[in-house]
Amino acid sequence: MDHQFTILIPLYNEEDNLLRVEQELSSYIKKAPLPSRVLFINDGSTDNSLKLLEEICKREKDFKFISFEENRGLSAAIKAGFDEVQTPLTGYIDADLQTHPEDFDLLLEHIPEYDLVTGVRTDRKDSFKKNMSSLIANGIRRSFTHDGMDDTGCPLKVIKTEYAKRIPMFNGLHRFLPAMVLLQKGRIKQVPVRHYPRIAGKAKYHLMNRLVGPLVDCFAYLWMKRKYIDYKIARRNE
């Protein structure tokens, strides 16, 4: 089978969620509109996650994983996934499954006309503090990037792989994917998706790294934007 769509699942210490992830993603790719595969990126987990991934990928022929030697953060995990992908389209979902794989279909409907389609979480099931910190962080980021996106932290995205592979690596990358596609003269769109409470495992973010991190990363983004090199080859002598 020639796969067309690779779903990235970065994870760090998510052993309590992985069997449910296997069930939901296995069910989804059987009926997905495109031939699909799953790629886990284990970000140096210190629990039983790696052992579970080895077992899952033996059972599921369309599931693969890579594993870091040590914890390097979400941006590094996403970038490593982008580097590994060989399919024309790349998706991203978190291992906590607070978004549903079936909603990839909502995003894939628009990907022929756009280069990145991201979810916007509706009726969020997070705490008031988490929702408010996310709202403030998105406002800060939007004032710097002018990308027009309401929820860049939504862990459900589809991007054309050619654009993903041209995104340079820096910490905080995951907050700026729409802005990075715009720098490449790409087209972006946001689509409402469902949101669910976390039912297992622990959240990896708290108030300080939801607010301070995005602010610091915005200055890194502005520096990178000034230095960014963008080109397209018009002709090649074979």
CATH number of the structural domain spanning residue 82: 3.90.550.10
85 in any annotated domain: yes
238 in any annotated domain: no
For residue 188, what is the DSSP state? Answer: E
234 in any annotated domain: no
Query: Strands 188-193 and 5-11: what pairing?
Result: unpaired
Backbone torsion region of residue 9, taken as left when φ is above 0, otherwise alpha when ψ lies between -120 and 50, otherwise beta:
beta
Name the domain count of the chain.
1
> Is this structure's pTM higher than 0.75?
yes
50 in any annotated domain: yes
What pLDDT, on a 0 to 100 scale, did the predictor assign at position 222? 77
236 in any annotated domain: no
Residue 132 domain boundaries: 5-227
What pLDDT, on a 0 to 100 scale, did the predictor assign at position 29? 97
Alpha-carbon distance 6 to 66, whole Å?
14
181 in any annotated domain: yes
233 in any annotated domain: no
- The residue ranges of the chain whose pLDDT is under 70 are 1, 124-146, 148, 150, 201-214
Residue ranges of alpha helices (H) inside the chain are 18-31, 49-59, 74-84, 104-108, 128-145, 161-164, 177-183, 207-227
37 in any annotated domain: yes
Alpha-carbon distance 69 to 33, whole Å?
35
